[in-house]
Structure 1
C-alpha cells in the first residue's frame, strides 16, 4: 500500500531545534516526538503513538500505525539515564514492548542497539517519514557541503522495510551501517551516509514473528565513493536502482547456519528468512556518485518524484537518495 511522505526540517516554522553547543539526548527525543506524534507549526504528525514514556522524559517508546503498518515499537533513550550536553542516544526496536524501559534480553525479535548523537554541535536536521517508518538526518553546524569529512552527523532508517514477504511480522527494524551488532558509542561511520556496494546494515528475525535473527546487508548495484572526493553534479541522464536487503554471507550451495532458516530450508527458497528480504523504503541509488563540493541539502526530481540526497559521512561522493513523496508503492 502506497503511503504519503512528509518532510520535516529544522528550518520549518515552529520546528523543534538542536541548539548549537547545547544539544542533549532529550532534544532528539523531542524532535522525533514532534514529527511522529504531535506535529508542529502547520505540519501534522506522521500518525505514530507514544504508548510509554518515563516520568523525566528521557526514555520513550514510539509505535507506528497498526492500521497502515506493522504496529511495532521503538525505544529511544538517553544512554546514561541522564541528559548531558553532547550525550549519546540509544535506539532499539521490537514487534512488542509493554513498558518504557524493558529488559532487552527478554524481548522477542529485538533489533540490535543503535547509538547516535553524541555531539553538542549537530544542529541541522531533517526527518523524512510515513506512518510506517522514518529516516533521520542531522549534520554538524559548520558543514556547508555534502561531504562531512568524518565530522559528527546522523543518518539512519527506523520502521517497516518494504518486504517481499506478505504480512512479514518482523519487517520493523533499524537500518544503518554496522547496525548488525549492539553499539555503545555514536560514530560518523555508523550511518547510512557511509555505504559501500555491500554494507552490513542490520539484524532481522524470521517473517513469522519467531526469534531467529541473522545479520543483514545492503546490496547496491552501482559503484560508490565513500571516501574519494567526487565534485560537481552528474549529467541529467539518470539510471537508478533500488538496493536489496539481503542476508549477509549467503552462498548458493550452503545448507546450514546462515544459509538455512529455522526449519532447515535453504534461505534461497525460504519465505521465513529469505536470502533477499526486501527494499529500504524510498531508497534508490543513481549511477554516478558526485556532489562532494555541492551545498547541503540537495534534492532532485528522479522518476517524476522529488528525492533527498544522503550526504557523505566521509569526503566521498553521494548517490543514495530518499523519495520525498511516496513509499511502499
Structure 2
C-alpha cells in the first residue's frame, strides 16, 4: 500500500482520495438500494475520515457509528433485544425469512468475539486484511442492530485496516464500490452463511404484523463458527484492485483532466466550473458530447465543440483504452 502511494504528489493524492471518499459513500448505500440525502452522505463521509481511531470495538462505539449511518427514526441505543430477520422485498407478503440471525441472548457474547478478532490486526496477531474480513463478516452475520448492519459491516473493514496501519491516515479504499461491481459474488458470500442456518430453523413469520416466532432451538454452535476462507479471499482481491487500479486510475483521470483544462484554456473563454463539467461530461460520453448534453455548451459553435472533443480524446486516450465500452 505504501509503495503505491509513495510516488504520488501529496496534492494529487488528496484530490484522488476526495473522489474515492465520495465513491465509497455512494456505493455502500447503493448496495442497500438506498440513495442518501446530502446530510447522511456528509455524516458517513465524516465517519470514514474518523475510521481507525484507537480503542477496542465496543457496544458503545458501534451504537455511535450506527447513529451516524441510519436515518433518525432507526437510531438504536444498544444492541437489539428482539429477534430480527431478513426477507427479500416483494409486492406480496412472502412470510419467508432469508436469514434469521442469532437470538438476542447470543448477541453480546458473539459481538465480544467479533471485537477480539478485530483487535488481532492492531496487535499484529493476524494480517490486517484477514482480521478486517473476519470481523466485518462476523458483525453482519450477528446482525446486532435492527438497521444499518450492512453499512456497519463495510465500515468496519475501513476501521480495522486503518487502525492496523494498513491503510494510511486520510486515505480510503473504495471497497464498497468494488463489492458493487461484483455484487453476485458478494451476495453469495452472505448467503453461504445465512441460507444453511436458516434452513435448519422452524419458524412462523407474519410479515403483515412484522413478527417472527422461532420455534426451534438456536444454539450458539449454529452461529458462532464459519469458514471465512472465501470471505478473506474476496476482501483481499478487493483491496488489491482498489490499490492497483482504482486509486491509480483516479490519479490518471486527474492528470489527463488537468492537461485538458490547460490546453483548452489557451483558446476557450469559459468559467472554470463550466469547463470542468463539460470535460467530465465528454469523458462520460467516451469522447463525445451527447445531444442531450449539448445545452451545456450552447454558446459554442459545432466546430468549437468538435475541437473540445478532439482535445479530450487526445488527453484521455489511455484512460479510454482502459475503460473501453
TM-score by length of 2: 0.26
Larger gyration radius, structure 1 or structure 2: 2
Of Structure 1 and Structure 2, the greater helix share is in 2
TM-score by length of 1: 0.26
Of Structure 1 and Structure 2, the greater strand share is in 1
